[in-house]
Amino acid sequence: MVDIPKDAEEMEKRKREFSSREKCEVIVNRDLIMMARESGIELSPEVEKLLLKRAVRTISGVTPIGILTKAYPCPGRCAFCPTEARMPKSYLSSQPAAARALRNKFHPYRQVASRIAALEDSGHPVSKLEIIVMGGTWSFLPRRYQNWYIKNVYDAANQASGIKPQSRNLAEAIQINETAKHRIIGLTLETRPDHITQDELALMRTYGCTRVEIGVQTIDDEISDLNLRDQSKEEVAEATKLMREYGFKFCYHLMPGLYGSTPEKDLIMLREIFENADYKPDFVKIYPCQVLPNSLLANWWKEGKFEPLHDVELIKLLLKMKKFVPEWTRIMRLLRDIPVGNILSGAKFSNLRQILKQQPKKLKEILGEEDFDEIFHGKFAWPCRCIRCREVGFANKRELDSSSNLKLVRRDYDAAGGTETFLSFESSDEKTLYALLRLRKPDKKFVPTHFSSVLKKAALIREVHSYGSEIMVGDSAGVGQHRGLGRKLIAEAERIARDEWGLKRMTIIAGVGTREYYRKFGYTEKCTYMTKRLEGGLTSRKVQKSNS
d(CA 511, CA 514): 5
- Nearest CA to 409 among 392, 426, 394? 426
Mean pLDDT, the chain, integer:
87
d(CA 459, CA 523): 14
| Pairwise pLDDT comparison (231 vs 354), residue with the higher score | 231
- Cα dist. 499→216, 327, 424, 456, 494 in Å? 37, 25, 19, 18, 8
Instruction: Please report, to the nearest 10 degrees, the dihedral formed by the alpha carbons of residues 400, 401, 402, 404 taken in order.
Output: 80
Q: How many angstroms from the chain centroid is the CA of residue 252? A: 11
* pLDDT digit string, tens, across residues 446-455: 999 999 999 9
pLDDT of residue 355: 79
Eight-state DSSP code of residue 168:
S
d(CA 119, CA 278): 39
**137-146, 398-407, 410-419, 530-539: which range is least confident on average?**
398-407
**32-36, 247-251, 349-353: which range is least confident on average?**
32-36
Residue 476 has pLDDT above 50, yes or no: no
Asked if 287 and 335 touch (Cβ cutoff 8 Å), the reply is yes
As a whole number of Å, the end-to-end CA separation of the chain is 47
Question: For residue 165, what pLDDT band results from cuts at 50, 70 and 90?
Answer: confident
Residue 34 has pLDDT above 90, yes or no: no
Residue 472 has pLDDT above 60, yes or no: no
* pLDDT digit string, tens, across residues 484-515: 899 999 999 999 999 999 999 999 999 999 99
Longest Cα–Cα distance of the chain, Å, equals 74
pLDDT of residue 79: 96
Strand partners for 463: 438
Q: Where in the chain is the domain with CATH 3.40.630?
A: 391-545
Residue 480 has pLDDT above 50, yes or no: no
Residues, the chain, total? 548
pLDDT of residue 475: 47
Which CATH code is given to the segment(s) 55-348?
3.30.750.200
Q: What pTM did the predictor assign?
A: 0.86
Strand partners for 191: 214
Question: For residue 213, what pLDDT band results from cuts at 50, 70 and 90?
Answer: very high
d(CA 330, CA 132): 16
pLDDT of residue 367: 84
Strand ranges (E), 218-307 = 249-254, 283-286
pLDDT of residue 32: 58
DSSP characters for 202-267? HHHHHTT--EEEEEEE-S-HHHHHHTT----HHHHHHHHHHHHHTT-EEEEEE-TT-TT--HHHHH
Residue 120 has pLDDT above 80, yes or no: yes
pLDDT of residue 30: 56
* pLDDT digit string, tens, across residues 256-292: 999 999 999 999 999 999 999 999 999 999 999 999 9
Strand partners for 130: 64, 186
Neighbours of 228 (CB within 10 A): 15
Q: Where in the chain is the domain with CATH 3.30.750.200?
A: 55-348
As a whole number, mean pLDDT of residues 216-237 equals: 97
**142-151, 336-345, 500-509: which range is least confident on average?**
336-345
Residue 38 has pLDDT above 70, yes or no: no
Asked if 47 and 114 touch (Cβ cutoff 8 Å), the reply is no
What is the number of H-type helices and E-type strands within the chain?
A: 21, 15
pLDDT of residue 398: 47
Question: For 371-400, what is the HEC assignment?
Answer: HHHHHHCCCCCCCCCCHHHHEHHHCCHHHH
Asked if 313 and 321 touch (Cβ cutoff 8 Å), the reply is no
As a whole number, mean pLDDT of residues 421-440 equals: 95
Class of domain 391-545: alpha beta
| Pairwise pLDDT comparison (203 vs 44), residue with the higher score | 203
Question: For residue 3, what pLDDT band results from cuts at 50, 70 and 90?
Answer: confident
DSSP characters for 93-110? TTSHHHHHHHHTTT-HHH
Degrees, nearest 5: CA angle 247-250-255: 160
- Residue 57 contacts by C-beta under 8 Å, 6 or more apart in sequence? 63, 64, 119, 124
